[in-house]
Amino acid sequence: MSINPFRASLHSSIGSASLLNKTEGNNEVEKELEEEYENTEWNYRAISYAIAACLLGDTSYSMLVTFFPKAAAKRGLSPSAIGVIFASFQIANVIGTLVVPTITSYFGGIKTLQFAIVAQAVLMVCMCFTDLLHTAGPFFGVCIFLRSLSGFIASLAEVSGMGLTMRSAPRDKVGEAFGILESARLMGMVFGPTLAAGLVSAFGYVGPFAFAAACFGVTFIIMLFLPLDSSIDGGEDEELAQKKRTALIKMTKMPMMWVYASNILLVSTALTFLEPTISPFLEKAPFNLPPYAVGLIYMTIFVAFIIVMGISSYVVKCLGETRIVIVGFSLISIGYFVIAPPNHITGPLSLFAFLHPSGKTEGIIMMVTGFVLIGTGMGLPTNTFIALMAGEAEYNGLGLESSSDAIGALMNSFFSAGGALGPILGGSFVHSFKFPRATCLFGYISVVGVILFAIAAAITKATRSTTNAEIADSGGADQPLLEDP
């Protein structure tokens, strides 16, 4: 039977003497908090602002793919220098993610999100003026500075947006709310390059940046005229603010948090592993596909990811948290095994050679099938990890009000790290083993991820008592125990 990781459970802790000592004399207060805790309703306005900020942020990040490399090359930048500009955004994003919980503890998630939106608008306007730089040195210096700053500011929007989203949904719907937010972010990643290509054709180099700046500006104005209730940030409670400042450090001392974070890293790595290698593989014999066809085939991963992540909360109700994670990672491994099976069996990396397609059409069908399996496997467990992380934090005394920003920071940092690690591993694996065997190798890595998660889940369930949870600031202790098998 599945145990809801967001149901307050004060009554389950009655058998613990130490817990009773903590709660004695506060029963009425805790009862009121528990009722409020369980009756939290959707705050659609807050979630909408978070979606808008994150969607625009990921769109402005991905839209450079279609036009910026060519513009930079015209100014004399080498491919490696252009890569550094792209990487600077992600590096700054990871660094910024680690300090956002502290920032939001002082200023609140709402003000942090507003600042991030208006700052992104200003930075997009500044990027418009880089068109006036025609030599390599100044163009490189200004662009890497602006992109690094954009990455840092984007981390403010992403983490504060995740925190607001988690605090704006019913406690048993947090995973579903996060899935909606992440689906919107992925849509920005998918459609950003295409949107930018059209804007460049119509308005030139400044078109995408001006459009993004206008969208950020309109969102900020709407937030001013339709403000959010400050109570969503927990008011002016200094004790709660202090918990927010220390939440991330406390969470890093929870072993299961590292299990969830490492699996998030694996999911993100699986998403970007093929980025530098899929195009060269499909553009040569026997496929000989044009670039647009490669893009359409590769997009099936994102489409499957978005669709499945949107419905994963309903699947969890049928399978439970542990099973959904195991099924998800199993599908990722199967997908990587069937993408491009080698011609002959020559060792462990070619055990799936019996699936090798006999022709171009069958090969494309196999690859699309593999991509759908990968996207499905990534979409199923992503929301579940958020629910499990939130439950784990509450089990250790950190309620959702104090831990939501820290959970968003941990999730965002490992997801961004996986986004940077995937292309590096993909390129090095293909260089060493060639494409078919490289994908099989990553399939085996996914299998290892399944095994490690299953072992950690079994150990946690066997050793954790249902009565030793600490009092959480959100109105009661919780039980992020994994469901019964």
**pLDDT of the residue at 334:** 94
> How far is Cα 276 from Cα 146, in angstroms, rounded to an integer?
25
pLDDT score, position 465: 58
* Residue 356: C-alpha distances to residues 105, 226, 332, 441 (Å): 55, 57, 18, 16
pLDDT of residue 187: 80
DSSP code at position 2: P
Q: Look up residue 351 and give its DSSP letter.
A: T
Distance, CA of 315 to CA of 320 (rounded, Å): 8
CB 391 within 8 A of CB 9: no
CA gap 240, 201 in Å, rounded: 50
Please report how the helices 79-128 and 238-251 are oriented relative to each other, as an axis angle in degrees rounded to 10: 170
What letter does residue 232 receive in the DSSP assignment? Answer: G
Please check whether residue 371 is in contact with residue 335, taking contact to mean a CB–CB distance below 8 angstroms: yes
| pLDDT tens, per residue, the chain with 485 residues | 233 333 332 222 222 323 323 333 334 434 444 444 444 578 888 888 989 998 898 888 878 877 887 888 888 888 678 877 877 887 888 888 888 888 887 888 889 999 999 999 999 999 999 999 989 899 999 999 999 999 899 889 888 888 888 788 776 677 677 777 877 777 887 778 778 878 888 898 999 999 999 999 999 999 999 988 877 766 555 666 666 777 778 888 888 888 888 888 998 888 888 877 787 788 788 888 886 787 778 888 888 888 888 777 778 778 888 889 999 999 999 999 999 898 888 888 888 888 888 888 888 999 999 999 999 998 888 878 877 888 888 888 777 667 777 787 788 788 878 877 887 788 888 888 888 999 999 999 999 988 999 898 888 888 875 544 454 454 434 444 444 44
pTM for the whole thing?
A: 0.69
Nearest to 429, CA basis, from 412, 414, 444: 444
Tell me, what's the pLDDT at 7? 30
User: Terminus-to-terminus CA distance in the chain, angstroms?
Assistant: 7
Give me the amino acid identity at 266. L
The answer to whether residues 456 and 385 touch, using CB atoms and an 8 Å cutoff, is: no
Examine residue 286 and say whether the peptide bond preceding it is cis (omega within 30 degrees of 0). yes
Instruction: Name residue 229's amino acid.
Output: D
Are 96 and 152 within 8 A, CB to CB?
yes
How many CB atoms are located within 10 Å of the residue 219 CB?
A: 21
Q: How far is CA 228 from CA 38, 50, 220, 287, 323, in A?
A: 21, 11, 12, 53, 37
Task: List domains and CATH numbers for the chain.
Answer: 34-236 (1.20.1250.20), 243-485 (1.20.1250.20)
